[in-house]
A and B are shown apart, each in its own frame.
Chain A
Amino acid sequence: MSTALETLRSCAFCPNTCRPSHAAQSPSQIESQTPSAMSLLALAYLDGRLSACSGVLEALQRRDAVRESRTHCTYGFDIDTALNAALAAPARG
Chain B
Amino acid sequence: MPSVIESLAAHSEWRAEPLPAAAAAALGAIVGPANLLQSIADRYAYARDRLPWGLFQLRAGRLPATLPAAIVSPGSRDELVKIVEAANRFDLKLIPFGAGSGVLGGTLPLSCEVMVDLKRMNRILDIDEIDCTVRVEAGMNGGQFEAALAARGYTANHLPQSIHMSTVGGWAACRGAGQASSRYGKIEDIVIGLQAVLPNARLLEVRPVARRAVGPSIKDLMIGSEGVFGFITELTLRIQHLPEYEGGAVYAFRDLQSGLDAMREIVQREGRPSVMRLYDGPESRVRTEGIEAFKERPILGILKFSGPRGLALAETALAHHICSAHDALATDDAPYRHWEQTRYQSYSIKWQSAGYCMDTVEVTGTWRALPRMHARMGEAVRKLHPEAHFGAHWSHIYPEGACQYMTVRLPPMDHAEAMRLHGEAWRRLESICLELGGSIAHHHGVGVFRNDWLREELGAGLELLQILKDGIDPRNLLNPGKVGLRATPGAMSIAPGDVR
Contacts and interface: CB of A to CB of B under 8 A. Distances in A.
Interface of A: 6, 9-10, 12-20, 24, 27-32, 37, 40-41, 44, 47, 49-51, 53-56, 58-59, 74-75
Contacts of B101: 15-16
Contacts of A31: 45-46, 71, 97, 99-100, 117, 119
Given A29-B119, A53-B7, A19 B345 contact: no
Interface size class of B (residues with CB under 8 A): 35 or more
B349 interface: yes
B162 interface: yes
A59 B101 CA distance: 21
B310 interface: no
Interface in B154-180: 162, 164-165
A20 B7 CA distance: 33
A15 B161 CA distance: 11
Given A30-B42, A30-B71, A13 B141 contact: no
Contacts of A58: 1, 39, 41
A55 B39 contact: yes
Contacts of B45: 31-32, 37, 40-41, 59
Given A10-B349, A14-B346, A47-B61, A55 B7 contact: yes
Contacts of B162: 15
B138 interface: no
A12 B347 CA distance: 14
A74 B2 CA distance: 37
Contacts of A16: 99, 101, 164-165
B352 A15 contact: no
Nearest to B345: A74
Given A16-B165, A40-B58, A28 B34 contact: yes
A19 B303 CA distance: 29
A54 B346 contact: no
B42 A55 contact: yes
26 contacts: A12-B58, A13-B58, A13-B349, A13-B352, A15-B50, A15-B101, A15-B162, A16-B99, A17-B344, A17-B346, A24-B123, A28-B34, A30-B117, A31-B46, A31-B117, A32-B44, A40-B44, A49-B11, A51-B11, A53-B2, A53-B7, A54-B39, A55-B1, A56-B40, A58-B41, A59-B41
Nearest to A55: B39
A28 to B, nearest CB: 7
B250 to A, nearest CB: 24
Contacts of B2: 53-55
B165 A17 contact: yes
Most chain B beta-carbon contacts within 10 A, residue among A31, A37, A56: A31
Given A12-B58, A20-B143, A31-B100, 18 more contacts: A10-B349, A13-B58, A13-B59, A16-B164, A19-B165, A20-B164, A30-B119, A31-B97, A37-B45, A40-B45, A50-B11, A50-B41, A53-B10, A54-B2, A54-B39, A55-B39, A58-B39, A75-B349
B384 interface: no
Closest 5 A/B residue pairs (Cβ): A55-B39, A32-B45, A29-B119, A54-B40, A20-B143
A30 B41 CA distance: 12
A40 B57 CA distance: 13
Nearest to B3: A53
A87 to B, nearest CB: 13
